[in-house]
Amino acid sequence: MLPLRMIRLLTGFFILWTILWLTACERAPEKHHQDFYVFGTLVGVTLWAADDDQARAAFAELQARFQAMHEEWHPWNPGLLTDINQAFAEGRAVEATPGIVEMIRRSQEIESGSEGRFNPAIGRLVALWGFHTSDYPILGPPPAAESIGSLLSQRPSSLDIRIAGNTLSSTNPSVQLDFGGIAKGYAIDIACDLLRARGIENAIVNAGGDLRAIGRHGERAWRIAVRAPGGGVIGSLETGGDEAVFTSGNYERFRLDNEVRYPHILDPRTGWPVKDLASVTVIADEGILADAAATAITVAGLSGWEDVARKLGLDQVMVVDESGAVYLTRRMNERIELIEDTKKAVADF
């Protein structure tokens, strides 16, 4: 029989071991974060409840995928997209990747649904304004009205593109694709699909404030800050199990001619920058829709934003006009917590 002192010592050891084992089992899930510079912005990926090996492998794959997308989709650096645009200009058919084909398909849907307010085929117009650059602001006068009118008269549209498998052709040689209003959203969707394929169910992929959140942050939902025009935060909200939150704004990229400011978001129907709304925030179940819809609603302006949101099947939208007044759909109003003293109006849907 063991001495009493030994029994007490072993009992104490067992209790200590049990406490340490339970503590290890109940340890808070690990949080992993990595930043990637792609599409001219910083993309932050945060994982919750993923182990070290999962995170390491996911981040390595994301780095490779982001780099490939950046090179294939770039609107002015030599690459696959510029090759496609050259083929369109020459009337040739060209092979594309499934990702580019998917963006064209979705662009065609959203261009039709928004009645032309979103149109990624106006790459020549974007270039004419000098917006094929990463250096802002651009200084100098706007392009001549005659030059803008000449491009518009050719009526470039994503609907002019024919898709046969992965082969593309255009019935209109003026079509030049620029996926600036949709690529970031699609890239975030691809990243979330990649994470889930690796067994990661709780994450945020955030590209300069535009993001998609999947799963939860432990026992609570992800809490998201919504950007205010010109910087800062206008409000916050909690995401559901899988949502994209995108904000399109006219306050970061622009051309400056003396004191006249020309924002980078162009109305494809007029060829001129839109100035009616300072920002538009859209919540949707996928980044590709939230991204493109935010652009289309910005182009629609204060008088047309409700109509475009309805046509695109969106009921979680917030717009901010140039004076700072906020307009929201009913459902968005129920979800977002705006900062104090924000002037707002709630739409009837």
Q: Please tell me the distance from the alpha carbon of residue 328 to that of residue 235, in angstroms, as a whole number.
A: 13
In single-letter form, the type of residue at position 4 comes to L
At residue 39, the pLDDT reads: 84
For the sheet with 254-257, list strands across it: 138-139, 254-257, 260-263
286, 289, 292, 295 alpha-carbon torsion, rounded to 10° = -90
At residue 319, the pLDDT reads: 97
Q: Please tell me the distance from the alpha carbon of residue 84 to that of residue 23, in angstroms, as a whole number.
A: 57
- What is the residue extent of each domain of the chain? 31-72+182-346, 74-170
Stated pTM of the model: 0.90
Q: List, in sequence order, every beta strand (DSSP E) within 179-252.
A: 203-207, 210-214, 223-227, 233-238, 242-249
At residue 16, the pLDDT reads: 36
Structure tokens at 116: 């032309």
The reply to whether CATH 3.10.520.10 applies to domain 31-72+182-346 is: yes
pLDDT digits (tens, 9 = 90+) for 62-97: 999 999 999 999 999 999 999 999 999 999 999 999
337, 339, 342, 346 alpha-carbon torsion, rounded to 10° = -10
Which distant-in-sequence residues (6+ apart) come within 8 Å of 102 by Cβ?
186
Q: Please tell me the distance from the alpha carbon of residue 32 to that of residue 302, in angstroms, as a whole number.
A: 41
- Cβ distance 177 to 123 under 8 Å? yes
At residue 2, the pLDDT reads: 42
CATH class of 74-170: mainly alpha
Signed CA dihedral, 205, 211, 216, 217: sign only: positive
pLDDT digits (tens, 9 = 90+) for 285-305: 999 999 999 999 999 999 999
Q: Please tell me the distance from the alpha carbon of residue 27 to that of residue 163, in angstroms, as a whole number.
A: 52
Q: Please tell me the distance from the alpha carbon of residue 139 to that of residue 258, in angstroms, as a whole number.
A: 8
- Cβ distance 205 to 191 under 8 Å? yes
Residues of the chain with pLDDT under 50: 1-27
